[in-house]
Amino acid sequence: MGRRRELKGLRAVVTGASQGIGRALALEGARRGMVIIAQARSRNLLDTLAGESEGLPGKVITEVGDVTCAADRERLVRRCQNEVGGLDILVNNAGIGATGHFADSGPERLRQIFEVNVFGLVETTRALLPLIVKGITPMVVNVGSIVGERGFPARSEYSSSKFAVHAFSDGLRAELSKDGVDVLMIAPGLTQTNFSQNMIEQSAKVQLDHMRGMTSEDVALATWNSAAKGRDEVFLTRQGRLLLLVNRFLPWLVDRIMRRKVKNLFKDEPKAAPQAVS
């Protein structure tokens, strides 16, 4: 466990803030009296966010930028320095996904996912870390996923990127303890967002109903509450926690259920003929 913190008045960057969980994080932070620097690629959506934040106790400052672009990351650093005098919390929320079976995809899909979900997250942290270590009760928050704890069929690439986020969070937490910086890894389960509509590709036969999940606002509440308490990691949704519990003690059962589901979906497709070895 890290330190408890009073969120009111703290300065926080939220990446991927124009929609979904990021938007909810920005608005909830402003409701708690925080100063939020909301970064995303869409100027129009950020303008809408700024309008929605008017009248809240805190403040939302919008910054157009892409976490994969070095120039945008440096501009974000300067914005934090010049406009709010530093940074206390970084929330690495920006992410993309794709569904589809690995054998049917090319390397471009995996590289694009890792470029945003892993390299963009890591390099944004690297760029802002000199400001964070000087902050008030500083913290880095990395948004992972339940599927980053247990890989899912047709989501192996996205799952892999979120596994990497968890591993990075664990290592960073130990490294930054000497500087008094806490690291929170929060893993949402199914969430009611436009994430599935914004995926770079959707070709999975194994479907998940995101509309049955928790709301973005619920994720934002859990995230800021966990940050205030100094939590290290949080796994969201009852179903997500149940899956991880079963997977911990009965991983073979989870494997069997997933294999059976995939086999049933592909039962009408011909099997690949074995190749002769010359």
Tell me which residues are annotated as active site.
158, 162
- SS3 string of the chain? CCCCCCCCCCEEEEECCCCHHHHHHHHHHHHCCCEEEEEECCHHHHHHHHHHHCCCCCEEEEEECCCCCHHHHHHHHHHHHHHHCCCCEEEECCCCCCECCHHHCCHHHHHHHHHHHHHHHHHHHHHHHHHHCCCCCCEEEEECCHHHCCCCCCCHHHHHHHHHHHHHHHHHHHHHHHHCCEEEEEECCCEECCCCCCCCCECCCCCCCHHHCEEHHHHHHHHHHHHHHCCCEEECCHHHHHHHHHHHHCHHHHHHHHHHHHHHHCCCCCCCCCCCCC
180 token code pair: 């008094």
C-alpha–C-alpha distance, residues 212 and 225, integer Å: 23
Instruction: Give kind and range of the element (H or E) at residue 48.
Output: helix 43-53
Taking residue 76's Cβ as centre, other Cβ atoms within 10 Å add up to 24
